[in-house]
């Protein structure tokens, strides 16, 4: 395929490509990384893994880097030099997306942080972690720079892709009309989501028209809605259709959660929030599992169990460490619920 010229049509870039008589439309999509200046090395490593495993030279997708502080020139220069195709954007997050809303009682928040710390919850004391979770729940898709894009693919520093990604995941999202894509799932720590289920249930009960008739709420509740089963898509890898996140349903859901103060009085993560939202508000057939990515984010590894598949995808991961299909993950339940076939091979029991 030969790229002839780019025509910028406002929101959507159209490629005039000669493929016989067919004109191909480029997907409006971007990688997205929230990252600190101090994480430069880890960010470069992640970019390197993607460059190696995903053919962005062919697709030329953009990459947005966001930070609540200004990016240092040294950060920008180093990241730029890692780019062989696609445009990197560096943006500072507006204060309104990374600060305490006026309805938060900050003394109460401090007391709750200390309490969670006594309960030995990870990141219990961290205020920035809470701003991060709130930003990733409700605001990343509202950034000015993101308005030109429809799909995003979140990439954190210090992740790995240890298998080839031979297809265009954005294209798969667009072709299938998927609203959300994920690779690993697992149960959340109970102490971080106190009140989240109640607030969510209240919202869905008050707004039944937002709940999708073909939803997958059973994936997040094994008791027909009475309790949260802690299952969530691990959002450090995720692809999404921002039309979903920019819908009235999602925006209002986030606002309702935010008003309860749970991001600051507890430590709600963006992963359970995205997962509960997608499970209630989306068609279950529009949630896409991307398997065999060889994705690694500490401490979990995805690695195809099938020897031939591992060879074909040039994976350099260790299959005994495979977590995706582990019985403690929630992946099998998703497949059962969606009527999909579960691969025959099971990960090692002892892991
Ligand atoms: P974990 O995956 O839950 O352990 O959390 P991480 O520390 O990996 O944070 C999640 C994402 O948010 C990563 O992409 C981090 O680089 C980013 N992040 C976390 N805290 C901050 C912060 O205070 N400022 C910025 N700019 N990014 C942050
Ligand atoms: Mn992380």
User: How many Cβ atoms are within 10 Å of 72's Cβ, its own excluded?
Assistant: 13
- Report pLDDT digits (tens) over 211-238: 999 999 999 999 999 999 999 999 999 9
How far, CA to CA in Å, does 145 sit from each of 11, 18, 21, 62, 87? 11, 30, 33, 11, 12
**CA-CA distance, 20 to 251, in Å (whole number)?**
42
Fold topology of 2-289? Spore Coat Polysaccharide Biosynthesis Protein SpsA; Chain A (3.90.550)
| CB of residue 39 inside a 6 A radius of ligand 1 | yes
> Which residues neighbour 350 within 8 Å (Cβ) at sequence distance 6 or greater?
none
Centroid of ligand 2 to alpha carbon of 236 (angstroms): 6
CB of 124 closer than 6 angstroms to any ligand 1 atom: no
Taking only the tens place, the pLDDT of each residue in 298-317 is 999 999 999 999 999 999 99
Nearest protein Cα to ligand 1, atom 5: 129
Interface pTM, i.e. ipTM: 0.99
**One of 39, 156, 238, 322 is an active-site residue; which one?**
238
Q: Return residues with CB closer than 5 A to ligand 2 (ion).
A: 156, 236
**Contact (Cβ atoms closer than 8 angstroms) between residue 264 and residue 217:** no
CA of 264 to the centre of ligand 2 (A): 19
117 lines ligand 1 (CB under 6 A): no
pTM over 0.90: yes
Between residues 319 and 6, the one the model is more confident about:
319
In 3D, which of 175, 125, 131 has the Cα closest to residue 286? 175
Q: Would you mind telling me the total number of residues written for the chain in this entry? A: 351
Q: pLDDT tens across 179-211, in order? A: 999 999 999 999 999 999 999 999 999 999 999
Atom of ligand 1 nearest to the CA of 68: 26
How high is the mean pLDDT of the chain?
A: 92
Residue 198 annotated as catalytic = no
Tell me, in angstroms, the distance from the centre of ligand 1 to residue 20's CA.
45
Determine the residue of 33, 35, 71, 188 to mutate for testing ligand 1's pocket, defined as the one with the most ligand atoms within 8 A of the Cβ atom: 35
| Cα torsion 100, 278, 67, 252: sign | negative
| Beta-carbon contacts of residue 109 (< 8 Å; ≥ 6 apart) | 100, 127, 261, 264, 265
- Binding site membership of 38 for ligand 1 (Cβ less than 6 Å): no
């Amino acid at each position: 395929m030969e790229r002839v010229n780019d025509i910028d049509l406002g929101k959507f870039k159209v490629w005039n490509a000669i493929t016989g008589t067919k004109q191909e439309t480029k997907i409006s999509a971007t990688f997205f990384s929230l990252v600190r200046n101090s994480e430069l090395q880890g960010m470069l490593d992640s970019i390197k893994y993607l460059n190696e495993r995903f053919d962005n030279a062919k697709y030329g997708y953009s990459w947005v880097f966001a930070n609540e502080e200004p990016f240092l020139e040294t950060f920008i220069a180093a990241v730029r030099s890692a780019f062989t195709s696609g445009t990197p954007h560096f943006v500072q997050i507006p204060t309104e997306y990374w600060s305490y809303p006026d309805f938060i009682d900050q003394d109460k928040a401090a007391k709750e942080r200390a309490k969670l710390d006594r309960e030995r919850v990870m990141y219990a004391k961290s205020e920035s972690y809470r701003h991060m979770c709130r930003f990733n729940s409700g605001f990343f898709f509202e950034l000015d720079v993101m308005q030109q894009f429809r799909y995003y693919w979140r990439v954190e520093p210090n992740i790995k892709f240890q298998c080839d990604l031979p297809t265009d995941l954005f294209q798969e999202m667009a072709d299938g009309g998927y609203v959300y894509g994920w690779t690993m799932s697992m149960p959340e720590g109970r102490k971080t989501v106190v009140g989240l289920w109640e607030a969510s249930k209240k919202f869905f009960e008050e707004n039944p028209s937002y709940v999708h008739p073909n939803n997958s709420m059973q994936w997040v509740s094994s008791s027909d809605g009475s309790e949260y089963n802690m299952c969530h898509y691990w959002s450090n890898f995720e692809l999404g259709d921002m039309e979903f996140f920019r819908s009235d349903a999602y925006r209002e859901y986030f606002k309702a959660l935010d008003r309860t103060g749970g991001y600051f009085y507890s430590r709600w993560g963006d992963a359970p929030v995205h997962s509960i939202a997608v499970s209630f508000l989306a068609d279950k057939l529009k949630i896409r599992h991307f398997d065999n990515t060889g994705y690694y984010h500490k401490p979990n590894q995805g690695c195809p169990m099938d020897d031939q598949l591992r060879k074909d995808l040039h994976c350099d991961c260790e299959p005994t460490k495979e977590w995706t299909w582990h019985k403690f993950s929630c992946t099998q339940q998703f497949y059962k619920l969606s009527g999909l076939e579960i691969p025959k091979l099971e990960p090692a029991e002892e892991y």
